[in-house]
Amino acid sequence: MAQHALQPPAEPPSTLQSRVIDDDRRQRPGAHRQRSDVDRTDEARTDASTFDADGLVIGYPGLDEPVVEDASICLPPGEVTALVGPNGSGKSTLLGGLADQITPEAGTVHVDGTKLTELGDKELAKKLGLLSQENVSPGALTVEELVGHGRYPHRGFFEAMTTEDQEAIDRAISLAGVDHLRERDLGQLSGGQAQLAWIAMVLAQETDVLLLDEPTTFLDLHHQLEVMDIVRTLRDEWGITVVLVLHDIDQAARFADYMVALDDGEVYASGRPGDVVTEELLADVFGVEARVGQGDHGPRITPLRALEDEET
Amino acid sequence: MAERPTPTTGGEQSDGSGDDGGPIGRLTSRVGSHVAWIDRSLVGLCLASTLVVVLAGFVQVRYGSYDMRIGEVFWAVLDPNVLLDPRWMLNFLVGEDLMRAITGFEGELPELPPETLIVWTIRLPRVFVAVLVGMNLALSGAIFQAVTRNELASPYILGVSSGAGLAILLTLVMYAGLAAYLPIIAAAGGALAFLIVYAIAWQHGTSPVRLVLAGVIVGTVFQSLQTALFFFADDIGVVQTAIQWTTGSLTGVEWEEARIVLPWSIVVVALALAGARQLNVLQLGERTASSLGMNVERMRFGLSGIAVLAASASIAVAGIVSFVGLIVPHVVRSVVGSDYKKIVVGCLFVGPALMVAADVGARLFFPVVMDVQKQMPVGIVTGLIGGPYFLYMMRRKNLGEI
C-alpha cells in the first residue's frame, strides 16, 4: 500500500465496513498494528514527510516566561506521534508552534527540510494541517460545506471548485465515516459527529503532516475509537505523519508509535511508548503513583493515587 | 460499464462517495455545482425584494407635487425616447461631458415630454440612488458582521459613522466654503476614523473584540466632539443640514449623486461576491481560517476595507442612514442560512428593497398623510422600521451569542 501522501488512494469501502463491523480488530488493536507494520513497505516510510523542530521557545505576549522552552523534537515520518503531559504543560502551545500558528520566539520547524517560515500561508496549509481543540462554526453549515472549506489552500481567490477538489472532499468524507451526515447541518450533530466532520475538513486539505489537538477529548468511547481508527488509516494507507495531543496517556500508549512527554514546557522524554511510559515518568510528570505493566498492545497503566504536590 | 461500488471492491475507481446516482448523476451534479448553491429560498427572497423595489419605486415615481395617472407613469418610465437613446442614458449615468466624449455628440439633446422629464430627471434618480445605497449598506453590514463575528455589527461599528459625522459638522461649521465637497469629506472622515480604530485595536494583531471596543472608543469621542460642534453652529440652516446628513436623507438626490455612488457600488459588489468564500472561512474562527492558509489579519483588513468603502460611498450621497446595514443581513440570514455566498446575493436585493420602501415613507408621509410639504430624512424611517423588527427577532428566536 505504498502511496504518495499527496495522492491518497480512494479508500476501499471495505475499510469503512471493517471499521464498523470488525469487532475482532477493535478488540485487539495490537494485532492490527503488527499486521500493518508488515504490510507497509519501506517506500511508504521514505515517502512520508519528515517533520522536526529545533530549539523551539514559544511564549505569549504579556507573559514573562515562555510556555514552551527549548523543545527539540524529531518526529518519525509516516508514524503517529502523541504529545502527552499534564494540564498546562504546553502541549497545545507546542502544537500551535509546530503548525506555525504561534510565532516562536526562537527555534525553527522544518517540514521535509524546508523551514516553515519560508513557506507561504497557503503552501504551508497544503503541507501541514491543524485541527484546533475548540472549533466554532455557524450552525447552519452542512458537513459537506465544512469539508469543502478544507480545500481553501488549494484554491485561488477567484477559482471555482474543481473535480479534483470534489474528489478530495468525497475521499475525506468517506474516510472520516460521515457519508451519512453529508447534508446535515453541523448544529444538529452530536459532539462526536461534529468532531468527525471537522476531521474530514482537515483531511480534505490533503496535507503530508497532520496535527490534531486533543481530537478525542470530550468524545464518547465509540467516537474516540472511531477517531483513532481514522488516524491509523491515515498512517497506514495515506502515509501521513500524524501528531496528536492526547489527554489520556493510556490511550496515547496504546495507539501511538512514538511519544513525546512534556513537563512544564520542556520535553521530558521522547521515544517508543514502551520506553517513555514508565512509573518514574508518571510520578515526575503527571504526579501520580502508578503501576506500568506490559499489556498485549503496549504499556498498560494502572494509576494508584495522586502524589502530594511537593513530591512531584 | 455499470460502475456501482460494492463494499467488496477496493479498486482505484471507486471513490466510496456513496450512492448519488451513479457516475452520470455525479457528473451533472458537479457541472451544476457552480450554481447549485442558489436555492429556492434565495430565489424567492430576491424575487420578493425586486417586487418591493418595483412597487415602491412606482409609488415614488407616481406621486409628488406633479401627480400622474398610472398610464402616464408607465409611459414615462418606459419612454423609448430615453430608454433607447444611448445619449440620454449616458447623460444620466456617466454625466454630460463623458457622454459627449463617448458618443461624439455635440448638439442639444432631443426634447422630452414633461412627464418623462420629471420622472427621469427628478424622481427615478432618487429611486436609483436608494437602490445603490441600500445595496452598499447591506453588504457593508454583512461583511462587518462576519469580520467582527458579531451579529449586531453594523456598517458603522468601526467608527465610520462618527468619523463621517464629525467631518460633516467640521465642514459645515468651520469651513463652510468646502460644503460643495461634503460627499467626499464625509466619506474620507469615515475612512479615517476606521483607520484610527484599527490603529488603536492593533497590538500584535487584532481580534474582533478589540476592534469593536476600539470602535466604541473612537465613536464615543467623535460623537462628543460632533455634539460640541453643534453649539458653534449659529445658523438654524446649518444645523438642519447637519441633521440631514447625520440621520441620512435622500432629499434632492439627482443623477449627480448616482454618478458618485455607482462606480464604487460596482467595485464593492464585485469584491463582496468574490470575497464571500473568504467570509465563509472566516466564520469558522480565526484559528481554523489561519490553519487553512488564510492570512487572517490581511484578509480581515481587506474585507473591512471593502465594507468601509461601501459605507463611505453611501454616506457620500445619503448621509448616515442607520439600521439598514444592521437588519438587512439579519433578514437575509434568517431566510437563506449562514452561507455568505447566499447572504451577499440576498443583500444585493433586500438592501435596495428596504431602502426604496423606507424612502417612500420619508418622501411622501408628510405631503400625502399630513398634507404638509415637507420631507423626512430617510434615516428616521429606517430607524422606525429597524427597532420593531429587532424586537420581533428577539421575541422569535435567540439572537445567538451576542
Distance CA B306, CA A34 (A): 56
Nearest chain A Cα to B298, which residue?
A121
Nearest chain B Cα to A10, which residue?
B15
Q: How far is B219 from chain A (nearest CA, A)?
A: 28
State the CB neighbour count (10 A cutoff) for residue B338. 19
> How high is the pLDDT of residue B4?
39
> How high is the pLDDT of residue A159?
78
DSSP 3-state percent helix, strand, coil across chain B (nearest 5): 75, 0, 25
Q: Which of B8, B12, B37, B284 to mutate to test the interface with A (most CBs of A within 10 A)?
A: B284
A16 and chain B: CB distance < 8 Å anywhere?
Answer: yes
Nearest chain A Cα to B339, which residue?
A141
State the CB neighbour count (10 A cutoff) for residue A23. 9
Q: How far is A159 from chain B (nearest CA, A)?
A: 10
Banded model confidence at residue A16, pLDDT cuts 50, 70, 90 = very low
Distance CA A231, CA A229 (A): 5
A39 and chain B: CB distance < 8 Å anywhere?
Answer: no
* Class of domain B40-78+113-397 as given by CATH: mainly alpha
Residue B178 pLDDT > 90 = no
Look at B300 and B14; give whichever has higher pLDDT.
B300
Q: Which of A18, A122, A146, A149 to mutate to test the interface with B (most CBs of B within 10 A)?
A: A149
- How many Cβ contacts (< 8 angstroms) between chains A and B? 113
Residue A80 pairs with which residues in a beta bridge? A242
In this structure, chain A runs to a length of 312
CA distances from B251 to B49, B186, B242, B254, B318 (A): 23, 17, 13, 9, 8
* Nine cell digits for residue A101: 500558528
CA contacts within 13 A on the Cβ side of B56: 25
Q: List pLDDT tens digits, range B134-148.
A: 999 999 999 999 998
CA distances from B20 to A31, A168, A174, A179, A180 (A): 36, 16, 13, 11, 12
Cβ-based contacts of B287 with chain A (< 8 Å) = 101, 132
Distance CA B13, CA B3 (A): 9
Does A122 sit within 8 Å of B12, measured CB to CB?
no
Segment A17-27 shows an average pLDDT of 38
Q: Which of B291, B299, B338, B401 to mutate to test the interface with A (most CBs of A within 10 A)?
A: B291
> How high is the pLDDT of residue B27?
52
A145 and chain B: CB distance < 8 Å anywhere?
Answer: yes
Cβ-based contacts of B290 with chain A (< 8 Å) = 101, 121
B224-253 per-residue burial string, b: 16 or more CB within 10 A, e: under 16: eebeebeeebeeeebeebbebbbbbbbbeb
Does B284 sit within 8 Å of A135, measured CB to CB?
yes
Distance CA A78, CA A75 (A): 9
Residue B113 pLDDT > 90 = no
Nearest chain A Cα to B16, which residue?
A13
Which among B286, B291, B281, B205 is positioned nearest to A99, based on CA atoms? B291
B17 and chain A: CB distance < 8 Å anywhere?
Answer: yes
Which among A94, A31, A150 is positioned nearest to A262, based on CA atoms? A94
Does B7 sit within 8 Å of A137, measured CB to CB?
no
In this prediction the pTM is: 0.82
Give CA angle at A182 (A181, A186), nearest 5°.
Answer: 70
A61 and chain B: CB distance < 8 Å anywhere?
Answer: yes
A265 and chain B: CB distance < 8 Å anywhere?
Answer: no
Residue B388 pLDDT > 50 = yes
A206 and chain B: CB distance < 8 Å anywhere?
Answer: no
A163 and chain B: CB distance < 8 Å anywhere?
Answer: yes
> How high is the pLDDT of residue B402?
39
Segment B69-97 shows an average pLDDT of 85
Q: List pLDDT tens digits, range B208-263.
A: 889 989 999 999 999 899 888 888 777 888 888 888 888 889 988 889 889 888 99
> How high is the pLDDT of residue B219?
92
> How high is the pLDDT of residue A63?
80
Residues 116-135 (A) with a CB less than 8 A from some CB of B: 120-126, 129-132, 135
Q: Which of A4, A98, A136 to mutate to test the interface with B (most CBs of B within 10 A)?
A: A136
Instruction: Please name the member of A130, A139, A174 whose beta carbon is closest to the beta carbon of B16.
Output: A174
Backbone dihedral region for residue B141 (phi beyond 0: left; psi -120 to 50: alpha; all else: beta): alpha
H-assigned helices in B80-206: 80-83, 86-93, 96-103, 114-118, 124-147, 160-174, 182-201
Does B13 sit within 8 Å of A161, measured CB to CB?
no
By three-state DSSP, how is residue A142 classified? strand
Residue A219 pLDDT > 60 = yes
Distance CA B185, CA B174 (A): 13
Segment B172-176 shows an average pLDDT of 83
Q: Are B170 and B180 in contact (CB under 8 A)?
A: no
B338 and chain A: CB distance < 8 Å anywhere?
Answer: yes
Does B8 sit within 8 Å of A14, measured CB to CB?
yes
Q: At what angle do helices B236-247 and B160-174 cross, to 10 degrees?
A: 160
Q: List pLDDT tens digits, range B181-195.
A: 888 888 899 999 999
Residue B324 pLDDT > 70 = yes
Cβ-based contacts of B334 with chain A (< 8 Å) = none
